[in-house]
Amino acid sequence: MSSIVDASGIEPGFANPIFDSQDTFRRILDAYAYVGRPQTLRSEATAVGPLAPATVSACLTLADFETPVWLDSRSDRGDVRNFLGFHCGAPFVDGSAEAAFAIVADPTTMPHLAEFHLGTELEPQTSTTIVVQVPSFTAGPPVRWRGPGIQHEASVAIEGLPSWFWEEWQLNQELYPIGVDVLFTSGNAIIALPRSISMEI
């Protein structure tokens, strides 16, 4: 039997995988260093199904064969699974609490934050990083962020989040050093929200 994978129906990944993934990784690091400041990804990947270019770029850069991935109901499709399986070698898990990396294409139906893996006191780095795709970074209710990476405070207006999100985020922050981290994506831009950041509406 042939072991060759038929990739004819799978969207291409980065045009220059090494350079593009390195550039995207630097911009993700910048997003965590300058919290609340949008970072535009120069190495833009092609959209895959419901996943916007920045979401796809984050997956190509952060997911690999050692990264259990959970997909929400909107992103859990054959074309997305085939793409991530082919380009990243990522294993998929059925439960959000099992995921190292979670993709949320429809924030209105996302699990509550406590349903993801929060890490442990001995291994806080094992918590879930949640990639949350939203319509925009400017049309939502303004929320003030404070903490490491922010000089005074940042006003961020993420659109499309469930009504409970910010209340639960504050509880998540109070668990520090455990707790989830979030990487928001919109179009070809990202904003990072580390677990160390507190907020006020």
CA 60 to chain CA centroid, nearest Å: 11
> Beta partners for 189?
40, 186
DSSP codes of every residue in 20-53: HHHHHHHHHHHHHHSTT--EE-SSPPPPBTTB-H
Q: Which residue range forms the structural domain that includes residue 37?
A: 17-200
For residue 155, give every residue at least 6 positions away whose Cβ sits within 8 Å of its Cβ, in sequence order, or none.
36, 142, 143, 144, 145
Instruction: State the average pLDDT over residues 169-195.
Output: 97
Judged against a pLDDT cut of 80, whether residue 125 lies above it is answered with yes
**Number of domains forming the structure of the chain:** 1
Q: Report the C-alpha gap between 87 and 132 in whole angstroms.
A: 20
pLDDT tens per residue, range 162-181: 999 999 999 999 999 999 99
Q: Is the per-residue pLDDT at 6 higher than 50?
A: no
Residue 146: predicted pLDDT: 97
Instruction: Please indicate, yes or no, whether the overall pTM of this predicted structure exceeds 0.85.
Output: yes
Q: Is 4 contained in some domain?
A: no
182 assigned to some structural domain: yes
Helix (H, G, I), strand (E, B) or coil at 101: strand
Per-residue pLDDT tens for 44-93?
A: 788 999 999 999 999 999 999 999 999 999 999 999 999 999 999 999 99
In a domain, 22, yes or no: yes
Burial 43-56 (b: 16+ CB within 10 A, else e): bbbeebbbbbbbbb
Q: 9 in a domain, yes or no?
A: no
Instruction: Let me know if residue 75 belongs to a domain.
Output: yes
Per-residue pLDDT band at 8 (split at 50, 70, 90): low
Q: Report if residue 35 sits inside a domain.
A: yes
